[in-house]
Structure 1
Amino acid sequence: MQVTPVLLALTLALAVPSCSAQQPCNLTGNWTNDLGSNMTINELNSKGEFNGSYHTAVKATNNEIKVSPLQGYQHVKDQCKNATFGFTVNWNFSDSITVFTGQCFVNNSKEVLKTMWLLRSHVNSLEDDWKATR
């Protein structure tokens, strides 16, 4: 799976619950990034745990791209602030896993996720470990 090292900016068009004059960002919903990948985050539980799915538009494999599951956490100490979060995607079509971490913002009434990611691919030996993480 080839993933270009970009800062993903995911945008969502959903109603946001009222907390204060400054609306908090809501992770729950459907997101699309600047590369055309799509992500769905299901409802958060009271501990800030969530799951969902990720359909990437980027790959470095001949395998057919499949929707892959994601599991994550949102920091829930203060639900009225721009949330920090992290999630893991277990790619269904390759021997790799990606972890994302980021923060949710509201910018000009538009919700934006700013994330960084780390992808780990399977290698067959310790000597090949150097090329397994991007």
Structure 2
Amino acid sequence: MKSLAAVLYVLSLGTYQIIIVQALIPDSERKVLDCNVTGEWHSELGSQLHLSAVGPEVRGVYRTAVESTRGAAGPNREAKVVGVMSDGPQPTVAFSVLWAKGSCTTWVGQCFAVPGGGQVLNTLWMLRSAVTSFTDNWDSTRLGEDRFIFVRGVESP
């Protein structure tokens, strides 16, 4: 019971601090910065994502730095990206790739502009590996998260 009280205390203290800090910032300084998904992004594991957004559609190329099994992503470890994104200054985004050997990966997340001019794309991913039989289904799906950092704006891939 003491641990629950401690957690509630910490949460309430954190909420109080957020309310106080927000109250001290004038409305003119609370502007949400725009996040533009078009460009080149790198994940924390070294994968490269090139995106081009036109309206709600997202297209591009993903080059993975990791594979579930050697050769699963194909000889170039690269796949076309197809997806969608919401409207607004910090859009939500969902995109998928189909790998050479039949597996597919989907990412869903949100693009955030960060102080200092940077951008980050926080995502959760799901990889579905192609299997040869129903009995292999139990280990064919993996989940994780990726954080992509904006490298530079580029032309459409």
Higher helix content, 1 or 2: 2
Shift of 1:86: 0.3
CA-to-partner distance for each residue in 1:28-86, whole Å, 9 max, x for gaps?
001011111001001x223x01110000000133323432101000012xx2x211010
Give the equivalent residue in structure 1 for 2:51: 41
Give the equivalent residue in structure 2 for 1:127: 135
Please show how residues 82-101 of structure 1 align to structure 2 within 5 Å: 82-92=90-100, 94-101=101-108
Q: Whole-Å Cα distance in 1 between the matches of residues 70 and 125 of structure 2?
A: 22
Please show how residues 96-115 of structure 1 align to structure 2 within 5 Å: 96-108=103-115, 109-115=117-123
- Secondary structure of the equivalent of 2:93? strand
RMSD after superposition? 1.6
Shift of 1:90: 1.1
Please show how residues 40-79 of structure 1 align to structure 2 within 5 Å: 40-42=50-52, 44-46=53-55, 48-63=56-71, 64-76=75-87, 79=88
Q: Which amino acid aligns with 1:32?
A: H
CA-to-partner distance for each residue in 1:5-25, whole Å, 9 max, x for gaps?
xxxxxxxxxxxxxxx943211
Q: Which amino acid aligns with 1:101?
A: V
The percent identity for this pair of structures is 36
- Secondary structure of the equivalent of 1:60? coil
Using the size of structure 1 for normalisation, the TM-score is: 0.75
Q: Whole-Å Cα distance in 2 between the matches of residues 62 and 23 of structure 1?
A: 40
- Pairing 1:23–2:33 present: yes
Using the size of structure 2 for normalisation, the TM-score is: 0.64
Give the equivalent residue in structure 2 for 1:9: none
**Which consecutive residues of structure 2, in runs of 5 or more, have no partner in the other structure?**
1-29, 143-157
Shift of 1:26: 0.5
Q: Which amino acid aligns with 1:132?
A: S
